[in-house]
Amino acid sequence: MKILEFITPSNIGGAENYVVNLSKKFIEKGHEVFILSSTVNNDKNPDLSVRQFFSKSGLPFRIVKADFKYNPLTILKIAYFIKKNNFDIIHTHLSKANFIGALASKIAKKKSISTAHGLNKKAQYKYSDYVICVSNAVKENLISQGMDEKKLGVIYNGIDISKFNSEAEGLPARKEYFFSDDDAGNNNLSSIGNTARQFNVGIIARLSREKGVDLFIEAAKFVLIKIPEAKFFIAGAGKLKESLIKRAKDLNIFNSIYFVGFISGNLVSFLNELDVVVFPSLKEGLPLALLESMSMKKIVIVSDAGGMPEVVIDGKNGYVVKKGDINAIYQKLIFVYNNRSGLNELADSAAETIREKFNIENCADKTLDLFMKFL
């Protein structure tokens, strides 16, 4: 089968990693894959370069200009590219690709399947033949907007569990390992490697409103009153970075908050240094970082947003709190700190959940089965 993966990113995050992981698994299973992507205008931070990201993946790809969703010239160019290369199926991701990729597929007389990574509006799937939802919450969101349920199916995100395990090498005691010059605003970075007696709390998220990073910082203020030696690490990039730094300074906790930026290939080492990972999202599909954290036997605290409660069963393999509840996050962090030595069973259960239900092998097999039904 010849598969075109088409994605139009606004940053490098879960959806982009999903495309790479899935494409590699498709190739392992004997299929041909090509990635078509638009680019992110972020020359200041090469870590967020789409071209570099896909180059490092080793997968064949091409960058196209897709600035506007309704650009007829772009749609016709993509339709020509699909027809010329005779792809069997087009798999689209994110709003622009879902719209123009599916429309171009119809022009080229090919089937298109979209993956809905978040709680999106149904309009972007107008021309898609079918929509894969990464969680039941995503599916229910589209049904609530009047979308035909027959056009929807759930295939959970999956990760390569061989890359995410608790035996991974730890974080070196060097700030340069994670921090770029842009992140040098923290005035206590050198202490990151001194983790023996610390309580290390992390969040991995795009720095945007819906990810709840501000709630993470507010909860940190209360935790630090009880646990002054606690350290809070924020991994991710986004437009709210400066306002989040200002908030940490206003709360007088800046020396305990570390903005580590986009960590990319250092994610395993970063996770290995954390005691607990928090996902306080207000709006969510199903974050890959949650699956990766659980696979590495990390204690996770998630909000009840989107598909996260479909993975995390409160008290069994992690903890679930009401979205927006800063006090609940604080209380759970204090509980984890006081019971760290007694939570091994919960951590083991987290890894087992990912191994059984959320691995990339299952995700790829189910996706390929779906593709075959449309051919």
The residue among 203 and 192 whose pLDDT is bigger is 203
Give the C-alpha separation, 203 to 61, whole Å: 31
Specify the residue for token string 């020359």. Answer: 43
Burial 211-235 (b: 16+ CB within 10 A, else e): bbbbbbbbbbbbbbeebeebbbbbb
- As given in the structure block, the two tokens for residue 206 are 């795009």
Strands 89-93 and 2-7: parallel
Residue spans per domain, the chain: 2-158+359-373, 175-357
What's the pLDDT tens digit per position in 115-137? 999 999 999 999 999 999 999 99
Average pLDDT over the chain reads 89
Domains 2-158+359-373 and 175-357 share a fold: yes
Give the C-alpha separation, 327 to 338, whole Å: 17
Phi/psi region, residue 238 (left: phi>0; alpha: psi -120 to 50; beta: rest), is: left
Give the C-alpha separation, 51 to 135, whole Å: 29
**Does the structure show a pLDDT above 70 at 178?**
no
- As given in the structure block, the two tokens for residue 120 are 């999106």
**Does the structure show a pLDDT above 70 at 173?**
no
pTM here?
A: 0.88
* Band of pLDDT at residue 340, cut at 50, 70 and 90: confident
**Does the structure show a pLDDT above 70 at 196?**
no
Q: 101, exposed or middle or buried, with CB in 10 Å at 0-12, 13-18, 19+? A: buried
175-357: which CATH topology? Rossmann fold (3.40.50)
The pLDDT score that the predictor gives to residue 221 is 98
Question: CB atoms < 10 A from the CB of 193, how many?
Answer: 15
Q: Between 1.10.1240.10, 3.20.20.220, 3.40.50.2000, 3.30.56.10, what CATH number should domain 2-158+359-373 receive?
A: 3.40.50.2000
**Does the structure show a pLDDT above 80 at 289?**
yes
